[in-house]
Structure formats: C-alpha cells, structure tokens
Amino acid sequence: MLADLMHKLNEQTTAEGTTFQAVLSESGVLEVACSNNDEFSIHLVQTDTQLLAVTQLFKVSDVKPEKIAALNVEMLQMSPAVPLSSLGLQGDMYILFGAMALSTSVENIVHELEVQAENTIEVLEEIQEQDLLV
C-alpha cells in the first residue's frame, strides 16, 4: 500500500497549491515532505489496521530543563485545538501525530497530511512564543 501511496502523493497538488515529495525507505516508512512545510517531514507507517502519520518536533533535551513541566501542560492544553492531529512523547522525541483507516481515500490522506504540516508550524510557533526551548 505505501509504495502505491508514494506514487500517488508525488502526483498530487492541492487546491492551496501544496505538493508532496514521498520516498519509501528500506525499513518500510514512507517519508513525506509537504511543500507548505518542507522543513518537518511526516513519516507514514502502515499497521494491520491503520496508517500512522508522525512528525518529529524536537527532543526532550531541546527543552529548558526547568520548563519541561510547563511544556507538557502547554502541549496537553493545545492538543484538542489542533485539528486532525495529536501531540505526544515518543521516547525522547516530542511528536505531532495522526491516524487514518487503511481504507482512507487518497484525497483524504492528502488533506490530512497538508493539515498536519500546517499544524506542525502552528504548534512550534506557539511553543517558541512561550520560550520553552533551549
């Protein structure tokens, strides 16, 4: 499925003009760069039941040590206001993520990826305004 999705994404342009560059790694992860935010790629992984979309934001070590609790509260409060995405911690990396059914249409996947790329920018801008990162 991911190889087929890679080809389809590479041919897409949204109404807003967003294009996609997708590359399938040997480990089976589809790395997608969206032109509306090509600095933070989205990693797509297929499970038995869903398609997971993960964007790595920053490492725990990038947070001012005395501000980790404040950052965690900020992210929990921000998460419900971020459409189609959630915020989390995976190992030592703060992430933005979403999940889709395997039956999701290419059009909806494109929309979700475009929104996730935009959400990444908004979340990072909010966190930088709070002066929580090193």
Helical (H) or strand (E) element with 75: helix 68-78
Q: Is residue 7 situated within a structural domain?
A: yes
120-127: average pLDDT: 96
Q: Is residue 83 situated within a structural domain?
A: yes
Q: In the prediction, which pLDDT does 130 show?
A: 92
Number of domains comprising the chain: 1
Domain enclosing residue 23, as ranges: 2-129
Q: Is residue 53 situated within a structural domain?
A: yes
Q: Residue 113 contacts by C-beta under 8 Å, 6 or more apart in sequence?
A: 9, 20, 32, 34, 42, 53
Q: Is residue 134 situated within a structural domain?
A: no
| Tens-place pLDDT, residues 21-67 | 999 999 999 999 999 999 999 999 999 999 999 999 999 999 999 99
- pTM (two decimals): 0.95
Cα–Cα distance measured from residue 43 to residue 31, given in angstroms and rounded to the nearest whole number: 5
Q: Is residue 55 situated within a structural domain?
A: yes
* CA distances for 14 relative to 17, 126, 129, angstroms: 5, 26, 30
Q: In the prediction, which pLDDT does 24 show?
A: 98
**Percentages of the chain per state (helix, strand, coil), in multiples of 5:** 40, 35, 25
Q: What is the CATH number of the domain that holds 73?
A: 3.30.1460.10
76 in helix, strand or coil?
helix
